Chains A and B, each alone.
Chain A
């Protein structure tokens, strides 16, 4: 019951947060953050000690089957960690936004717990149908946040988000049901199943559904709109943690029915194309939230690449990318929110020289970018592991290393260029950015992403995931 409870507590306490939000957004934010502590503790314990929690019988069709291994634990850990800090970050932002809209922030806090709990549930639930159920819970909860607190033409954006996400989720569900008819009721990776044999239809259904969720190249169009117009605390959660579900599903389900090596090969190419494409598009954006959104597309390319390489290192890298991108992008979106709150703009051309405006913010945002670029943060660990996976996959085919290096370079280009445009250059403002809990949250998340790079965190983290994956033995 422990895992289930840790997911239900955020949902249950969101009602309390809803009530509290009528009095004070801060109180609601704290409640939302505290509600995620059990999940954080349990997933962190699994990730850093290698312990596996399992509950439910895994016999027959058991909807109460849950499991946390270091592999899916990293995903849950990221959700909880980012969720906590976004909750702490949100009160000043939501007060600002409610003031603009003339609408209380209570709906936000009501849906917040469901959103985060649903996300975490999708990662730790072992029953395939339950995975889908949790995805939809998260979808609907976030839907209301966009509908009520979004920017621009938010109804249109909401519809876009709903249609795309629902389509993706239903395709995944259809794929799950095909497996279900074969007697596979649980996420194969969590139920210690081995390769299930080729099933082209199921693979394609889950793959396409997941790719839509991940906003991979070609089906990515919803993401820049949604992430740009969503209320920023939500973007900080949507972008890193929601879209990554696709990668998790491909890794833990679809790859167990992948038809043959040819598919894997094309998936690798596709992942690289996504990463390059996202990076190029991010470079061009002037709206900082759209920029980050495209950067997410690029990062999802990395994550997909890790999965597509189809070896233990690749899987480990995918999980680590989820973590590093989660932390990094959370920092960046929260930074964007800080700009929205205090600069009232999202246009990077109106920024510049902001280092002097709030140096701590600049430092944190730089760390955020370093996470994306894989430099000296937990992002570097994921990048190293991914590169090893890549090398193990291609070994002597040297020509394939060039596009990979290009991917890394392109990420570096938009990351450092954006830092320059936003934070460096002549001062345009005389005042100072205020110090509030939002700023503190940003800095702490940035700090954590550096901390996780250091031993003993980085090694226990990586090695535990790696051992889980090797033990899962998808590769014979």
Chain B
């Protein structure tokens, strides 16, 4: 069925010809609807969620020529998810990754100011480096070189912005256009995580690489959360939050790479499952919760870039920030819960250490989320909630409330 995506991408490429004449948002909206239908047809809930996010963004903002970029990035994300769920060849995932990088670059730079371009450039450079590593590592690994996995992991660290490869994230979020930052969070990172999952499934775990990845991920979440504490602007807070969330996701995968399946399989809502599936669930939920909530937060900013105080208030984004904080029963709570559950499935000493680390991180992160919350809720201007913030808040809440159900679908 993957050719359906190919048709959609082809159609979008043809549409580029007309972008000069039509406002890009219509193209994006149309493409989003198409993607929505496609995802529904394919039984791909993640695709539906992402497609609607793109639709919401295109309804809210003038996109000019970049509407196509928005459409491309959403499509790429859905593709990556589809590749993962349909167990298609990973190479399609890599294509999706390339596609999303290019389009998000465009979106980040769409304001054409110096800041926008600078942020977008950094994204492009580091993401590009990351992709090179990923492709190289993947190719090496499938051809039997054990170092391939290591290279691929380093690539993902670049791509996801894990400390110490995280510097670009802060600049990209803070300096890119808010629409670009929203797309970065909702599409680029989600795509990257799905590709990670695809590769995670297709490559055998190497214990040592897993351990190194885990250590780096743990260190990364700590640095991100500590650094976030004194971050001053909404964009930067979200950037650090993003680094932290990506670290949580990577840590989930790393644990399974390192230790393999635990002796007694963890159970989820009373049903026993494998650690790998649980880790995958953590990654997917982390991707969605972080991506959607950030899309909501950036999606309501009317400024040229987000390294400033938000000029207008948003009530619904309070829910998004709380979801990022990991507050039950919002969506952001569940990946953390499953991550802790995953950690505790392993021997007590390792599990307890991981849990304490994660708990300490979550608790340490609370002050900066509170600050973000106050920035959006107490901004001087009138309430500026729009389709994006409403939709993301709605999804964060509803998915969170119905998580037991969602978990069955996504597993």
Q: Does A456 contact B (CB under 8 A)?
A: no
Question: Which residues of A sit under 8 angstroms from B363, Cβ to Cβ?
Answer: 163, 166-167, 170
Task: From A133, A163, A166, give the contact of B329 (CB < 8 A).
Answer: A133
- The interface residues of chain B lying within 8 Å CB-to-CB of A181 are 264, 266-267, 341, 344-345
Q: Are B344 and A162 in contact (CB under 8 A)?
A: no
Contact A177 to B270, CB < 8 A, known contacts A166-B366, A170-B363 = no
Indicate if the CB atoms of A174 and B340 lie closer than 8 Å: yes
**Contact of B367 with A180 in the complex, beta carbons under 8 Å:** no
Q: Which of A420-459 contact B (CB under 8 A)?
A: none
Complex alpha-carbon distance, A137 and B337, angstroms: 16
B327 at the interface (CB under 8 A from A): yes
| Most chain B beta carbons < 10 A, residue from A132, A155, A163 | A163
8 Å CB contact of A140 from B322, B345, B351, B364? B322
Output the least CB separation between A171 and chain B (Å).
Answer: 6
Q: Which residues from B are CB-within-8-Å of A180?
A: 267, 341
Given the complex, which residues of A lie within 8 Å of B269, measured CB to CB?
60-61
CB distance from A153 to the nearest CB of B (A): 13
Asked if A296 is at the interface of the complex by the 8 Å CB criterion, the answer is no
Contact between chains at A178 and B344 (CB < 8 Å): yes
Q: Which of A82-118 contact B (CB under 8 A)?
A: none
CB distance from A161 to the nearest CB of B (A): 10
Compute how far the CA of A155 lies from the CA of B351 in the bound complex, rounded to whole angstroms: 34
Report whether B328 and A132 are in contact in the complex, using a CB–CB cutoff of 8 Å.
yes
Which of A63, A136, A159, A183 is B327 in contact with, Cβ under 8 Å?
A136
Q: A87 → chain B, closest Cβ, in Å?
A: 24
Asked if B374 is at the interface (CB within 8 A of a chain A CB), the reply is yes
- A137-B327 Cα distance, complex, nearest whole Å: 8
Would A61 and B270 count as touching, CB distance under 8 A?
A: yes
The B-contacting residues of A in range 178-219, CB under 8 angstroms, are 178, 180-181, 183, 185, 201, 205
Query: Whose C-beta in chain B lies nearest to the C-beta of A178?
Result: B344
B404 within 8 A of A: yes
State whether the Cβ of B406 lies closer than 8 Å to any Cβ in chain A: no
On whether the beta carbons of A201 and B348 are closer than 8 Å, the reply is yes
A167, B351: Cα distance in complex, Å:
17
A155 touches B374 (CB 8 A): yes
**A474 in the interface (beta carbon within 8 A):** no
Give which listed residue, A60, A133, A167, contacts B359 with CB less than 8 A: A167
Given A136-B328, A173-B337, A205-B355: A162 and B404 interface contact (C-beta under 8 Å): no
The residues of A that contact B129 with a CB separation of less than 8 Å are: none
> Please, what's the 1-or-0 string for A105-149, where 1 marks a CB less than 8 Å from any CB in chain B?
000000000000000000000000100110011001001000100
Q: Report yes or no: B344 in contact with A166, Cβ–Cβ below 8 A.
A: no
Across-interface contacts of B370 in A (CB, < 8 A): 143, 147, 158-159, 162
Shortest beta-carbon distance, B53 to chain A, in Å? 25
| Complex alpha-carbon distance, A210 and B271, angstroms | 28
**B352 in the interface, Cβ–Cβ < 8 Å?**
yes
B135-161 interface bits toward A, Cβ cutoff 8 Å, 1 = contact, 0 = none = 000000000000000000000000000
A74 to B219, CA, bound (A): 45
Within 8 A of A (CB), among B312-330: 322, 327-329
Residues of chain A lying within 8 A (CB to CB) of residue B303? none
CB contacts (< 8 Å) of A63 on chain B: these are 404
Q: Does B362 have its Cβ within 8 Å of any Cβ on chain A?
A: yes
Asked whether A177 lies within 8 Å of B362 as measured between CB atoms, the reply is no
Q: Are B328 and A170 touching (Cβ within 8 A)?
A: no
Smallest CB separation, A347 vs chain B (Å):
30
Pick the residue among B322, B337, B345, B355 that contacts A129 (CB under 8 A): B337
Find chain A residues with CB under 8 A from B337 CB. 129, 173, 177
A181 vs B364: C-alpha distance when bound (angstroms): 26
Pick from A140, A162, A177, A178 the residue with the most CB of B within 10 Å.
Answer: A177
Q: What is the bound-complex CA distance between A213 and B328, given in angstroms?
A: 17
Query: Which chain A residue lies CB-closest to B342?
Result: A177
> What string of 1s and 0s marks CB contacts (under 8 Å) between B333-368 and chain A?
100010011001100100110011001101110110
- Provide the bound-state CA to CA distance between A126 and B362, in Å: 25
Which secondary structure dominates where chain B touches chain A?
A: helix
Please give the distance in Å from B219's CB to the nearest CB on chain A: 20
Residues of the B chain whose Cβ atoms lie less than 8 Å from the Cβ of A140: 322, 327
Query: Does A171 contact B327, Cβ atoms closer than 8 Å?
Result: no
Alpha-carbon gap, A162 to B365, bound state (A): 10
- Shortest beta-carbon distance, B102 to chain A, in Å? 40
Inter-chain contact A163/B267, CB cutoff 8 Å: no
A32 CA to B142 CA, complexed, in Å: 63
Residues of A within 8 A of B329 (CB): 133, 137
Chain A residue contacts of B352, Cβ below 8 A: 201, 205
Chain B neighbourhood of A178, CB < 8 A: 344, 351
Residue contact B367 to A159, C-beta cutoff 8 Å: yes
Q: Which of B271, B327, B340 contacts A177 (CB 8 A)?
A: B340
Q: Which of B278-337 contact A (CB under 8 A)?
A: 322, 327-329, 333, 337
Contacts of B266 in A (CB 8 A): 181
Distance of A72 Cα from B5 Cα, bound (Å): 56
Q: Please, how many angstroms separate the alpha-carbon atoms of A404 and B56 in the complex?
A: 64
Give A162 to B327 CA distance when docked, in angstroms: 11
Instruction: Return A184 CB to nearest CB of chain B, in Å.
Output: 11
Q: Which chain B residues numbered 61 to 75 have a C-beta less than 8 Å away from chain A?
A: none
Q: Which residue of A lies closest to B355 (CB)?
A: A174
- Identify the closest chain A residue to B368 (Cβ): A159
Q: Cβ of B267: which chain A residues have Cβ within 8 Å of it?
A: 61, 180-181, 183
**Which chain B residues border A61 with CB–CB below 8 Å?**
267, 269-271, 404
Knowing A136-B328, A159-B366, say if A185 contacts B344 (CB, 8 Å): no
Give min CB distance, B58 to chain A, whole Å: 32
Cβ-defined contact, B367 with A163, below 8 A: yes
- Residues in B neighbouring A205, C-beta threshold 8 A: 352, 355
Give Cα distance in the complex from A173 to B266, angstroms: 16
Min CB–CB distance A73 → chain B (angstroms): 24
Q: List A contacts of B355 (CB < 8 A).
A: 174, 177, 205
Which chain A residues border B341 with CB–CB below 8 Å? 177, 180-181
CB distance from A464 to the nearest CB of B (A): 32
Q: Quick one: which of A159, A162, A171, A174 has the most chain B CB within 10 A?
A: A174
Asked if residues B327 and A170 are in contact (CB atoms below 8 Å), the reply is no
* Closest CB in chain B relative to A28 CB, distance in Å: 19
Report B-chain residues with C-beta under 8 Å of the C-beta of A158.
Answer: 370
Partner of B328, one of A137, A174, A185: A137
For the complex, give the distance between the alpha carbons of A180 and B351 in Å. Answer: 14
21 pairs, CB–CB < 8 Å, chain A vs chain B: A60-B269, A60-B270, A133-B329, A136-B333, A140-B327, A147-B374, A159-B367, A162-B370, A163-B363, A167-B360, A170-B362, A173-B337, A174-B340, A177-B344, A181-B266, A181-B267, A181-B341, A183-B267, A185-B270, A201-B348, A201-B352
New A-B contacts (15) at CB < 8 Å, excluding given A167-B359, A174-B344: A60-B270, A61-B270, A140-B322, A159-B367, A162-B367, A163-B363, A163-B366, A173-B337, A174-B340, A174-B359, A177-B337, A177-B355, A181-B266, A201-B348, A205-B352
In the A-B complex, the 5 residue pairs with the closest CB atoms? A61-B270, A167-B363, A60-B270, A133-B328, A170-B359
